[in-house]
Chain A
């Protein structure tokens, strides 16, 4: 069991947002070591590379390499599909990246740290443990 963060949280941490840092430290203390989703890495790298800074992207890649990465495997895809279907059923729209991250967190038994209240509300229905701030 560990902590997975979504893209908005990782950008806040990279920016040195004090609340995000406090929440991630607290979540790691309570729920275990951090894991990085490959989806989050993708979105963060797109954001950095779009600024035209390949060197900064490489630097970020090497920083991310310190953490265990969750890739989307068949079990994650299955849980993500369950999440998607449940959200369709309850009429709560969540983006595809967030659905996949939720699937990864569910599959690995991790806690998802997010700022997305929509995802947090949906979490109750899908059995995902979410820490929202």
Chain B
């Protein structure tokens, strides 16, 4: 590539969640004399590809169109108007459309609340006491082991 030739980046797409679009990695559509895609020649080999660095390297940006995605990879799909309206109706505040799809299509697992009533209150009391006892035994065993480690070598041998 001839030195000093300017690559015009027509649009770029950020691929990380950030509040600062000037400092994210990106993929770009670019134009030199003909349209292209992928990484413009002048950008190859640059350490990092943040927009600020590119600007300082003399890269000019035209019609900068910023897409901030939450994921590294996204897909574009088409929906009929009626399907879109249903999806929008299911969308909660602060929820993205991806979140809605993930929530609705999540495996239909029962709630843990479905386990309620397996134990009577007295049984639960005994189970709690057993768990507590097991943990106390473990802690006592660990303390005894720690005490043995702390003893001088000679004293341990005499025992």
How many of chain A's residues have a CB under 8 angstroms from any CB in B? 35
Q: Does B89 contact A (CB under 8 A)?
A: no
A67 and chain B: residue at smallest CB distance? B109
B69-92 interface (Cβ within 8 A of A): none
Q: Determine if A87 is an interface residue (Cβ-Cβ < 8 Å).
A: no
The answer to whether B135 and A47 have CB atoms under 8 Å apart is: no
**B residues less than 8 Å from A13 (CB atoms):** 112-113, 115-116
CB distance from A64 to the nearest CB of B (A): 8
Closest CB in chain B relative to A67 CB, distance in Å: 6
Measured in the bound complex, the distance between the Cα atoms of B129 and A7 in whole Å is 12
Residues of A within 8 A of B112 (CB): 3, 5, 10, 13, 24, 28, 34, 36, 67
Chain A residue numbers with a CB within 8 Å of B120 are 15
Q: Which A residues lie at the B interface, using CB under 8 A?
A: 3, 5, 7-8, 10-16, 21, 24-25, 28, 32-34, 36, 43-44, 46-48, 50-51, 59-60, 63, 66-68, 95-97
Report B109-159 residues with CB < 8 Å from chain A CB. Answer: 109-121, 123-124, 126-128, 130-131, 134-135, 138-139
Count of residues in B whose CB is under 8 Å from the partner chain: 27
Neighbouring A residues of B103 by C-beta, 8 Å: 32
Contact A43 B131 (CB under 8 A): yes
Structural contact, A50 and B130, CB atoms closer than 8 A? yes
A24 touches B113 (CB 8 A): yes
CA distance A5 to B111 in the complex (A): 12
Once A7-B131, A47-B131, A51-B127 are accepted as A-B contacts, the answer to whether A63 and B115 lie under 8 Å apart by CB is yes
Q: Is the CB of B113 within 8 A of A43?
A: no
